Amino acid sequence: MSTLPSSLPVGRASVRVARSSIPARAANGVANSGPAAAWPVRDETITFHDVVLERGDRLERVDVRYRLEGTLNAARDNVVLVVHALTGTTHASDWWKGVIGADAAIDPTRYAVLCANLLGGCDGTTGPSDEYPDALPPFSTRDQAALLARLLDALGVGAPLLMCGGSLGGMVTLEFAASFPARVRSAVVLAAPAAQTAQGIAWNAIMRRAIALGGVREGLALARMVGMLSYRTPEGLERRFGRARSEHDTFQVRDWLEVHGDKLVARFDATSYGALIDAMDDHDVGRDRGGLSAALAAVGDRLTGVGIPGDLLYPAEGVREWTTAAKATYVELPSVHGHDAFLLEVDRVSAVIEKAINESERRAASAAPVAAIAATSIVRAVAPRGRPLRIALAGCGHVGGSLLELFGERALRNDEQQHVDTRPIHVDRVLVRDAERPRPALAQAIARGIAAPDACVTDPTLLLSDDIDVLVEAIGGTTTARTLVETALRRGIRVVTANKALLGERGSALAALARITDTRLDFEGAVCSAIPIVRCIRSGAAGVGITKVSGILNGTSNYVLEKVADGASLAEAVATAQRLGYAEADPTRDLSGQDAEDKLRILAWMCFGVDPATLKVTRRGIDAETAAWATRVALEGDRVKLIASCSREGDEFVARILPTRITSDDPWARVSGPFNRIVVESETAGSLVFQGPGAGGRATAGAVLADILAR
């Protein structure tokens, strides 16, 4: 089953219940009725189709119950998205009194306060229950965040004014920030870690065992009692109860625990409770994103983490650690209440929330707002003839710079030949890491009027806007690049990328996202640069019944092996490749065979339909031992080539990337310099051979340009 990323696409959605007078009914039959409020209240359930979870499970439909308190303004930019904790409901103004209310920090008479029941919950959103324990497969906080993004899309909300949540709600808020940094104007995370702690796992293990031993009623009540002890501090309990007894001559603290246990049983579902704490245990924002710092790098300046000294569940030190790593703001909230201080210290929590909202509004007033997703952007109109094709370019290195040069040459050629029907290209924005670094290609593009004078940006959230027709992703990596590509596809913006690492990891997921949003994902430049192998396979020209694909897929390694065969040392060969632009400053991915593996995964996906992320690849790259062997083989008249191959053997796919000895009269031996060679074998077309430049910014940029111009 194909694995989709957590940033799921905007699918088809339908509203089933749209009457604020009808109380939300939980999946387990418990109704939530709320008192009349001094502002409009909407309780609705929206249905999404074709939801794919992080682990790859595909759900035909998911219902999401939400409450909207207040009124959306015309721009739909006044939304405060509140994410509830473990046993919270959609009735945010009920459980966060003092923080949400008239004249409070979050005032529903000013803002539209949105709170949705999280995936897996029992307040109206699809989740497992005691009656239907298998109603939902395992899910993650990343899946919960992705579903919130889909809800925002359905409501036509791009970036909420503020997003905030505590405990589990804080975890989901962090996941949302990492998955959708362009949609975060300001976020407050209260008493929540970036990754579940050993302490948190331990508390959850005890609660899980309590339910297993005591059943869905007594067990859940006991789990809640255990949870309450983790939410409070010994000092707080001592101050409140000490050894005081009730009128029934029982200890008040015991009565307090039992009341909380019984109250939860009356309104919550034990199976849902277990599934939610399972998601909490799997929580790790840095997973598959290059670590915590990389995951939050694009959004740290808009994050506030609130740590509570004395919190037994999620100590303040852990919150301070992730805010430091993310370069976020850290606020300490001392309280005798411990973990529950985010619910009980309403005045000080309100001050943090109020400051975050003010900063969000101030940023909106002083600079271009964070790129928003308007409801109408899901279906994009075809631009009229004569309007330039507007490009957002992520990255201005070898490929990005060469692409800007090709844009200039194309414009000059069109002017000279008066191609009045050829649509001009304009680069609206270029994302770079260092704005001070000289970039001659960009400067020349600006001088020619191909790029905007203020095109250069360093903030990924400013790259995309509703005017953009094509995102060209040439930044590389799988963190910021993934976020940009997914954001663009969700908004119906066509994507052209040469990022083989991203496609090798998420190719099938991104393709599914493009299909759902009815847009295009093109990536000719990701596999062997100038060789049009992607277009050939996509068009069916490679024939039916492909049985094997083989190739020299990395021009850098091929060039290095050729230089080694000519007598150069491995270090000398790599240095020469770098000087000629055939190798990056860090050639590790090329020499290790990782780059070739990424391309082989893409080819296997296209030829055989196998999810690229699941393909098992045996790989060995080029090291000192391989180089020495290549030198000896050359003295004997043969050559060593790094050959990649994938074929179907029975019910399995066998994929290998190995240094291979080739006789001098073999066509593989004649692939020279940074060239690539691919052979596709099929039942109907026989063997098709492709050969051409496989390294260098200009060769890749040419393939990218062809994708941009493809109709």
Catalytically active residues, by annotation:
167, 311, 339
Torsion sign across C-alpha atoms 513, 515, 517, 521? positive
481 vs 648: CA distance, rounded Å = 32
The 3-state DSSP class for residue 707 equals helix
| Secondary element (H or E) of residue 330 | strand 329-332
403 vs 449: CA distance, rounded Å = 15
For the stretch 362-367, contacts whose Cβ atoms lie closer than 8 Å and that sit 24 or more positions apart, written own/partner, are 363/185, 363/186, 364/77, 364/185
Are the C-beta atoms of residues 316 and 291 closer than 8 Å to each other? Answer: no
Q: What is the DSSP string of 41-72?
A: EEEEEEEEEEEE-TTS-EEEEEEEEEEEES--
505 vs 594: CA distance, rounded Å = 12
Are the C-beta atoms of residues 499 and 505 closer than 8 Å to each other? Answer: no
User: Any residues with CB less than 8 A from the CB of 107 and at least 6 apart, and which?
Assistant: 70, 100, 101
User: Any residues with CB less than 8 A from the CB of 178 and at least 6 apart, and which?
Assistant: 285, 289, 295, 296, 299
Question: Other CB atoms closer than 10 Å to residue 703's CB: what's the count?
Answer: 28
Cα distance between the two ends of the chain: 31
Are the C-beta atoms of residues 330 and 300 closer than 8 Å to each other? Answer: no
What residues pair up with 188 in beta bridges, in sequence order? Answer: 164, 304
For residue 590, the one-letter residue type is: D
333 vs 129: CA distance, rounded Å = 36
Q: Where are the beta strands (DSSP E) in 382-536?
A: 389-394, 425-431, 456-457, 470-473, 494-497, 521-522
Residue entry with tokens 């869905």: 216
179 vs 143: CA distance, rounded Å = 10
333 vs 320: CA distance, rounded Å = 12
DSSP state of 621: -
Are the C-beta atoms of residues 141 and 135 closer than 8 Å to each other? Answer: no
237 vs 254: CA distance, rounded Å = 11
Are the C-beta atoms of residues 692 and 676 closer than 8 Å to each other? Answer: yes
